[in-house]
Amino acid sequence: MCERSTEVALSTPSKFAVSSAVGLTERITSGKRDVRGRVVEWLLLSTLGLTLLVLVALIVNLLDRAWPVLDGRFGDFLSSGLDASNAQEAGVWQAIRGTVTLAIIVIVVSFPLGIACAVYLEEYASRSRLARSIRINVRNLAGVPSIVYGILGLTIFVKFAGGITGGRTVIAGGLTLSVLVLPVVVITASEALRAVPRSIREGAMGVGATQWETVRSHVLPSAAPGILTGTMLALSRAAGEAAPLLLVGGITGLLRTGNLGLWEQITKGGFTSVPVAIFSYARQTGADFQAVTAAASLILLVLVVVINGLAIWLRNRFERNW
Amino acid sequence: MSDSRNLIEQETVLEQNHEEATTGSDASNNDVPVFRTKDLSVFYGDFRAIRDVSVYIKAREITAFIGPSGCGKSTVLRCFDRMNDLIPTARVEGTVEYHGVNLYNREVDAVEVRRRVGMVFQKPNPFPKSIYDNLAFGPRLNGIKKKADLDVIVESSLKRAALWDEVKDRLKASAMGLSGGQQQRLCIARCIAVEPDVILMDEPCSALDPIATARIEDLMQEIKRDFTIIIVTHNMQQAARVSDQTAFFTTEVNPESDRRTGVLVEFDKTQKMFSNPSDSRTEAYVTGRFG
């Protein structure tokens, strides 16, 4: 250590003198590279590679295991209902319908509510101490495990408000998921609103806009792409949740819809969703059910990719739409 | 033909707005100040940014606020349209009278004030919308909904801001595509479009090149017939070129807390301020020997 530093100290003053003696061309073409920088670059690249590798391995594995279903009875699989007793009859039709219904409820309930909360916190209440403590607590809520929201849903939406939701229905499930993603929606919308430069607000206020006119005409449109992206990501989280739905009545065995109409199914009937169906099939033994589980998992992956793709598409569309 | 007729209508609208804005005082009377501040102090938290500023602003004149960085020029300016309200910790003492009404009275609606007192900011801040929508936003707030009326206002505002010829073929294009100088003139046009009584300019040229700066200065001379203008500037030559009155601010260091507070040193006709100032500090500043 000590030796090295003296060496540096000695060599420093004479460094350039030497280089001129040896020849500039030789010096700058000697092929010495930033070795440490290269190592770091390769390390970073390899971590990226590792991440992608895990993803690819997952998909390949799923495809491989799901192949008997995909090859043999894919159409049948898509159109059959939930049946955890017979792998040949098992399908995901009810599960997909359930997930889509849940997603719609989440969009209708938690998006307007969450965005409104964020607008209030960022645009109206930003100066109060109460607002600051609420903001911190919203962040904490986002970290609460989903099973806890399941218990909340069971207590409030199934038991307490069972008269309105119909008990263990898709409505109770959707409301539970809405509460689950609400903090995430509030946080992402807040961040998108905070990213809108103050100069835009000042410009609008400078020509005599009220706060609401400023928010509606300038702040929200400017923040819309960010809000949309964040909320759609929250939606894909909701679409992938199984645990809270199991608590509020997601059906895992055999779901009979009988001859109930669509509205009756929603307000009275049982429901399931793709993650719940995966859980149901994964509990069964035998290679047949392994294939069904893998196929259902692929369906969930596709659903999530579709939602995220939609988020990107919407964002691009909004950004062009000035 | 139809243009000129529309312009006449526009003028009528202007006059009506203006009468509303200056109720109780004669607009053509130059002796009645548009603004008069008395012992104005602004605090950010417990920090006093400016102390006891008393100025009066005459109608249809350009008043320049000059002084070194951090002397509170912009802070004073932002009291005239209650823009300081947007800063959570800001607090104002003393009075700012606008045509005789103290703007910091409890009953005063800041939004109504800002409809009469427009502001142009240091950094051009067009809305990320089309040129047309930038200009139509203010008039729409005032209830002008008909497209024909808005078209007239957009065109006349752009003409008065000397921007019409450059953008008339691309009114639907995004304002963000304009150059910095064009964006700033657009912001001035946006101000003009709501027919304010006063236009506040907070270092409007500091982000612009000399050519764009010259255009804005010409523009100010053009529009001062219709508007009272207050401009904050770092550039002494600019103040000398454009203004009728000049206020010189500087900072004073509080020996106890070692914090700087802005104070008004001298306020007079621009010509006198630059040729024969009464205060030695003003003389030092305008001659470039600022210590």
Residue A72 lies in a domain: no
Q: Cβ B137–A199 below 8 Å, yes or no? A: no
Task: Note whether A218 contacts B138, CB cutoff 8 Å.
Answer: no
| Distances, alpha carbon A275 to alpha carbons A119, A134, A296, A302, in Å | 33, 32, 8, 13
Give per-residue pLDDT as tens, B149-181.
999 999 999 988 889 999 999 999 999 999 988
Listed in sequence order, the residues at least 6 apart from B221 whose beta carbon sits closer than 8 Å to its beta carbon are B242
Domain membership of residue B35 (yes or no) is: yes
Q: What is the ipTM of this complex?
A: 0.80
∠ CA B271-B274-B275, rounded to 5°: 80
Subunit contact A204:B88, Cβ cutoff 8 A: no
Q: How many residues does chain A have?
A: 322
Q: Give the CATH number of the domain where residue B141 resides.
A: 3.40.50.300
State yes or no: pLDDT of B219 exceeds 70: yes
C-beta neighbour count of B52 within 10 angstroms: 15
pTM of the model: 0.79
Contacting residues for B66 by C-beta, under 8 A, at least 6 apart: B73, B233, B234, B236, B239, B246, B247, B248, B249, B285
Q: What residues in A contact B129, CB-CB < 8 Å? A: 322
Best of B141, B178, B187, B191 to mutate (most A CBs within 10 Å, chain A) = B141
pLDDT of residue B124: 92
Rounded to a whole number of angstroms, the distance from the CA of A210 to the nearest CA of chain B is: 6
Instruction: State chain B's mean pLDDT as an integer.
Output: 85
Cα of B118 to nearest chain A Cα, Å = 6
Q: For testing the chain B interface, which of A207, A213, A318, A321 should be mutated: the one with the most B CBs within 10 Å?
A: A207
Number of domains in chain B: 1
Give the domain CATH number at A151.
1.10.3720.10
Q: Which chain B residues are closer than 8 Å to A204 by Cβ?
A: 127, 137
Q: Which domain holds residue B272?
A: 2-286
pLDDT at residue B21, as a whole number: 44
Does pLDDT of A253 surpass 80? no
**Cβ atoms of residues B189 and B178 within 8 Å:** no
In a domain, A223, yes or no: yes
Residue A66 belongs to a domain: no
> What confidence category does residue A6 fall into, taking pLDDT thresholds of 50, 70 and 90?
very low
**A252 inside 8 A of chain B by CB:** no
| Number of separate domains in chain A | 1
Whether residue A166 is contained in a domain is answered as yes
Query: Would you call A202 an interface residue with chain B, using a CB distance cutoff of 8 Å?
Result: yes
Q: What is the Cα–Cα distance from A131 to A122, expressed in whole angstroms?
A: 9
- Domain holding A185, by residue range, is 96-273
Residues on chain A touching B81 (C-beta within 8 angstroms): 206
Residues A267-311: tens digit of each pLDDT: 777 888 899 999 988 888 888 888 899 999 999 999 999 988 888
**Cα four-point dihedral sign A210, A213, A215, A219:** negative
Task: Determine, yes or no, domain membership for A44.
Answer: no
